[in-house]
């Protein structure tokens, strides 16, 4: 996948992340539930955009998607804890979209090990 396609996928994932965080901010869900949902849907939106940008030419490994989705759920839990700690220390709250976009952008631009390669 080219850098241009990755930037496009990160932009779409960021837009979706802000929209999801804004919609969930109006609900009375607990911060942990909102964080997990925002992180999981950001990952899903980015992967869908990557698949569309490639034209579904590459193979999609569902095991890799589920593994990375679990990483994003864990990062959502960590972000919820960090937001709670920050609220206690500073009195203000950071939105959930910014950490989710940062995590997605980091994961999108880190070089991946070729699938099926064993060392």
- Taking only the tens place, the pLDDT of each residue in 33-54 is 999 999 999 888 888 888 887 7
Structure tokens at 87: 């609220």
What is the pLDDT at residue 58?
Answer: 61
Check residue 119 and give its pLDDT: 47
pLDDT at residue 49 in the model = 83
Which residue matches tokens 């802000």? 18
Task: Kindly report, residue by residue over 62-84, the tens digit of the pLDDT.
Answer: 777 888 889 889 998 998 888 88
> Alpha-carbon distance 20 to 94, whole Å?
15
pLDDT of residue 33: 92
Q: How far apart are CA 39 and CA 41, in angstroms?
A: 6
- Distance (Å, whole) CA 49 – CA 43: 10
Question: Residue 118 above 70 pLDDT?
Answer: no
Q: What share of the chain is helix, strand, coil (3-state, %, to 5)?
A: 75, 0, 25
pLDDT digits (tens, 9 = 90+) for 77-117: 998 888 888 888 888 777 888 888 888 888 888 766 655 55
């Amino acid at each position: 996948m080219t850098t241009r396609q990755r930037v496009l996928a990160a932009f779409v994932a960021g837009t979706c992340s802000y929209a999801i965080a804004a919609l969930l901010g109006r609900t009375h869900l607990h911060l942990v539930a909102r964080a997990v949902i925002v992180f999981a849907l950001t990952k899903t939106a980015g992967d869908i955009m990557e698949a569309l940008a490639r034209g579904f030419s590459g193979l999609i490994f569902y095991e890799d998607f589920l593994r990375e989705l679990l990483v994003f759920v864990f990062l959502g839990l960590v972000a919820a804890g960090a937001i709670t700690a920050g609220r206690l220390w500073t009195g203000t709250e950071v939105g959930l979209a910014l950490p989710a976009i940062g995590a997605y952008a980091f994961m999108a631009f880190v070089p991946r090990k070729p699938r099926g390669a064993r060392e």
